[in-house]
Amino acid sequence: MPDAVVQGLATLTRALEIVGAGALVLGFVITTVRWVRQSLQQEATSALASYRQALGRTVLIGLEVLVAATIIKTIIVDPSLEGVGYLAIMVAIRTFLGWATVLEISGRWPWQRKQARAEP
């Protein structure tokens, strides 16, 4: 692969890493500010549940971007065994957080079917 393409992809990877980290930081700040506002207006328990869900979504979005950057870096820019290990760890963390977020939001694991409502 031409050096210019590899260099361009390396720059893209760095930009995606910055965007992913920025999404995590910015999302945390925005979510926390919203939580403080809700806590002052509502019951603390409902505000905290909302905060946890929003924070979980923020983490998932940031990790999605970081995983994309790591995939590009591992496959094209800097293929190494260490990079593959790092990618595997990130994907495992992202998968676990995804499952935990679904459990938090819907009250069930992603592979569980929706429970049918009991008819009165």
DSSP assignment string, the chain: --HHHHHHHHHHHHHHHHHHHHHHHHHHHHHHHHHHHHHHHS-HHHHHHHHHHHHHHHHHHHHHHHHHHHHHIIIII---HHHHHHHHHHHHHHHHHHHHHHHHHHSS-TTSPPPPPPP-
User: How far from the centroid of its chain's Cα atoms is residue 57's Cα?
Assistant: 6
Q: Which residues contact 111 (CB under 8 A, 6 or more apart)?
A: none
Q: pLDDT at position 115, please?
A: 60
Task: Tell me: pLDDT of 20 over 90.
Answer: yes
108: pLDDT strictly greater than 80? no
- Does residue 118 belong to any structural domain of this protein? no
Neighbouring CB atoms inside 10 A of 29's CB total 11
Render pLDDT for 27-42 as a digit per residue (tens, 0 to 9). 999 999 999 998 888 7
Is 46 domain-assigned?
Answer: yes
Q: Is 113 within the bounds of a domain?
A: no
Q: What is the pLDDT of residue 29?
A: 96
The average confidence (pLDDT) of the chain is: 83
Task: Please check whether residue 111 lies inside any domain of the structure.
Answer: no
pLDDT in tens, 76-102: 777 888 888 888 888 888 788 778 877
> pLDDT value at position 63?
84
Nearest-angstrom CA–CA distance, 69 and 81: 16
pTM: 0.72
Domain that holds residue 97: 3-106
Across the range 112-116, mean pLDDT stands at 65
Query: Measuring CA to CA, which residue among 106, 67, 73 is closest to residue 88?
Result: 67
The domain tally of the chain equals: 1
